Chains A and B, each alone.
Chain A
Amino acid sequence: MAPALTIDDVRTAITKRQTTATALARDFYTRIRQEDPEIGAFLTLCEERALAQAGRIDAMTAEGKPLPPLGGVPVAIKDVMVTRGVRTTAGSKILENFIPPYDCTAVARLEAAGAVILGKLNCDEFAMGSSNENSAYHAVHNPRDKSRVPGGSSGGSAAAVAAEMAVATLGSDTGGSIRQPASFCGVVGLKPTYGRVSRYGLIAFASSLDHIGPFAKTVKEVALVLRTIAGRDPMDSTSAEVPVPDYVAELEKPVKGLRIGVAKEYFGEGLDSEVRAAVEAAIQKLADLGCEVVPVSLPHTEYAIPAYYIVATAEASSNLARFDGVRYGFRAKANTLSEMYRQTRDGGFGMEVKRRIMLGTYALSAGYYDAYYLKAQKVRTLLTRDFDEAFKKVDVIAAPTCPTPAFRLGEKVNDPLAMYLADIYTVTANLAGIPGISVPCSENHEKLPIGLQLFARHFDEATLLRVAHAYEQTRKAA
């Protein structure tokens, strides 16, 4: 199999009859069987479903019908999105044997566009983590350096693309869980605007912060996948009634004259010097393309982590109340109902999930609600206003995705606060609901990838992707 196969390559090869969707799917399964034992990106393979879909695509092409937009493209899905008839675990033991009766809207839209779903991808349990080490099954190893984490929580989604085990993948991002692993693994990852992609069928972690978004090797492919999954869905009342532009066509518009904001709050203490240099060089590249670089201020950034972890854990403690051993999933043996609830949740959830349920329950409990939860919601307003003000002056904001490149497996597992602080540059976009993307911009002295993060206004993914694409082209030319 040729390396670095893009969506366009797949389409061309199938259209020109150089391969078939079925042969391609089989090639990818062969590759997964060779590569994945050392990486651990997949939790479940759904070969039957994939080959049935590939067969449908091949039958269409044999009849001379046009290839659908993602026809025959091998993709994979983070295991927090439900898939009809295919085991969905959310990386948790509590859902070890859960076979969903319906499909997540984003998954159904990918399949309707012709994509071939190869399997389900490893992640931190209920998407809670920044290293993928909280998976109840096994850790994921970063394909760029197997002694390091791939990032999290969508570690499997980033690693699968980086190791060429899928052309594109879906992940979810509640506080950086798409952008941070994209940065660590050297691929492109997009968190769209809140409401841009339906969350129907996404196992809820923190409903006001959860987003579904794509990973791929190039910005153009991410744009293609976004175009497919975006748009209003009657099954999710928070999916917005906002038209979906042709993101791919918009990519080629010029970036000259666009204003790029740079906020000093994203370049402060704790930022690795090589990451800083790489991101500053990337911003200079955008200036060379004719963008105007404008200093902006996002003064409440330092309060983002505390506000985020209160809101996220509060919502999680409520969302995860449904896992009680009654209707689905693991059930502990017990003599009474209340013992059954407790022992089921005790045996079914891992330590980080319990920690977050405890933190969220505490923040919502009588006597602490005002001091923690209400306070965090007010700070969320302030953080969102920071972006509103900044976007009066600029079209896009540029920042590092993460303060450091990928850290080592085991490095932060025993220090939850240190792990939370790894999300310092990403949680703000979730609190404000603005779109954010991570694009590879350099490597450090150990050849570890570094990501450039870009933000844009609500529902302005078109400008975000356009700037990311223009930047990406400068790297290809170099």
Chain B
Amino acid sequence: MKVTEKDVAYVADLANLELTEEERARMLRDLNSILEYMERLSELETGNVAPMAQVSDRYGVDESRQGSDRFAYTIREDVKEGLRESLPHDAAVKNAPDTDGMFFEVPKVIER
């Protein structure tokens, strides 16, 4: 077993998940079985291989430029009209579970 109960508790904490006792037990079993399968990646020698985070840096880019300038086509005018306008206030809070109409309301933030 690679992942311990302590790891499950730690990761659940990072992910803001509570998890019941039963869920923790299942998670322990499932994460270990899945990660064991993932281990086969270590068979591959990847010392000189660059990581790939996305596909889109290969297409539509200006190859003659460097860094984010390569994505010049994605830059758009900073305008207020049309699609680019922000959501109106009332639409933005309409789905909120708790709102005073102006702000999102949440339980007490400062804990002692």
Contacts and interface: CB of A to CB of B under 8 A. Distances in A.
A208 interface: yes
B34 A330 contact: no
Given A208-B53, A327-B104, A343 B97 contact: no
A407 interface: no
A354 B108 contact: no
A341 B111 CA distance: 14
Given A237-B71, A336-B107, A417 B37 contact: yes
A240 B52 contact: no
Interface string B4-21: 000110111011111110
A309 B35 CA distance: 10
A346 interface: yes
B33 to A, nearest CB: 6
Contacts of B51: 374, 377-378, 380-381
Interface in B32-88: 33-35, 37-44, 46, 49-56, 58-60, 71, 73-74, 76, 83-84, 87
Contact of B17 (A99, A325, A358, A371): A358
A101 B91 contact: yes
A343 B108 CA distance: 15
B52 A380 contact: yes
A354 B23 contact: yes
A98 B96 CA distance: 9
Interface string A168-195: 0000000000000000000000000111
User: Is chain A's interface secondary structure helix, strand, loop, or mixed overall?
Assistant: helix
A351 B22 CA distance: 11
Interface of A: 97-99, 101-102, 193-195, 208, 232, 234-235, 237-238, 240-242, 300, 302-303, 305-307, 309-310, 317, 321, 324-331, 334-343, 345-346, 349, 351, 354-355, 357-359, 361-362, 365, 371-372, 374-382, 384, 416-417, 420, 432-433, 458-459
17 contacts: A101-B92, A237-B74, A306-B40, A325-B97, A327-B92, A327-B104, A329-B95, A337-B106, A337-B109, A345-B17, A351-B23, A357-B15, A376-B41, A382-B44, A416-B34, A433-B55, A458-B55
Can you list the 6 inter-chain pairs with the closest CB atoms, starting with the nearest?
A433-B55, A377-B51, A328-B95, A331-B97, A378-B46, A240-B60
Interface of B: 3, 7-8, 10-12, 14-20, 23, 26-27, 30-31, 33-35, 37-44, 46, 49-56, 58-60, 71, 73-74, 76, 83-84, 87, 91-92, 94-98, 104, 106-109, 111
